[in-house]
């Protein structure tokens, strides 16, 4: 069956099997930033944004996405307002600066969960950040640096120095 939706800023029409998960579709289409974890929706490694909300892609049938907007880590692009340079999203930048990345396997899901939070709540409390990252399991860290990175990303976004760049799959 064919399903049409927006993927990383571009309209797509993909042929999918009715029981195919979004994770399986994304991988088949050649996008590898979304990681396979538990395949039961418990670890957050396969997190993507669907209509702005963090969702475990292993738990969503692609056929249900007609008309939706899907964003993966490959679709997270920002532009510096002064230079116009295309850069990583401020959340990604702050994760690097804070030393919040070790093996990196969980990071795409964490980054997307943080982006989903900051797009809805640009000034979250620490408790709100903790709740937003709660569904993302990291075996390498104690989560402290990720929480700090999200706080710093919120400040960076509030500064007005960044704006979304057009995403293209």
Nearest to 76 by CA among 27, 39, 30, 109: 109
CA end-to-end distance (rounded Å), the chain = 21
96 and 45 fall within a common domain: no
Phi, psi dihedral angles at 164 (to 5 degrees): -60, 140
CATH number of the domain enclosing 154: 1.10.150.120
- Residue (of 118, 110, 100) closest to 137 by Cα position: 110
Find the domain containing 106 and state its range.
77-164
In this structure, is residue 116 part of a structural domain? Answer: yes
Query: pLDDT at residue 103 above 50?
Result: yes
**Percent of the chain residues past pLDDT 90, beyond the cut:** 80
* pLDDT higher than 80, residue 81: no
CATH of the domain at 46: 3.10.20.30
70: in domain: yes
Q: What pTM was estimated for this model as a whole?
A: 0.92
**Structure confidence by residue, pLDDT tens digits, 18-65:** 999 999 999 999 999 999 999 999 999 999 999 999 999 999 999 999
Q: Residue 167: which pLDDT band, with cuts at 50, 70 and 90?
A: low
């Amino acid at each position: 069956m064919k399903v049409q939706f927006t993927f990383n800023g571009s309209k797509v029409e993909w042929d999918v099997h009715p029981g195919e998960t979004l994770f399986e579709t994304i991988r088949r289409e050649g996008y590898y930033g979304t990681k396979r974890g538990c395949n039961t929706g418990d670890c957050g490694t396969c997190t993507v944004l669907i209509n702005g909300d963090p969702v475990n892609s292993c738990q969503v049938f692609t056929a249900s996405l007609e008309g939706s907007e899907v964003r993966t880590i490959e679709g997270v692009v920002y532009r510096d307002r002064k230079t116009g340079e295309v850069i990583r999203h401020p959340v990604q930048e702050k994760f690097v600066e804070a030393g919040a990345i070790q093996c990196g396997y969980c990071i795409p899901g964490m980054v997307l969960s943080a982006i989903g939070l900051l797009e809805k709540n640009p000034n979250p409390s620490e408790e709100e950040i903790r709740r937003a990252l709660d569904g993302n399991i990291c075996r390498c860290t104690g989560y402290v640096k990720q929480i700090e990175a999200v706080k710093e990303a919120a400040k960076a976004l509030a500064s007005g120095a960044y704006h979304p760049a057009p995403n293209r799959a």
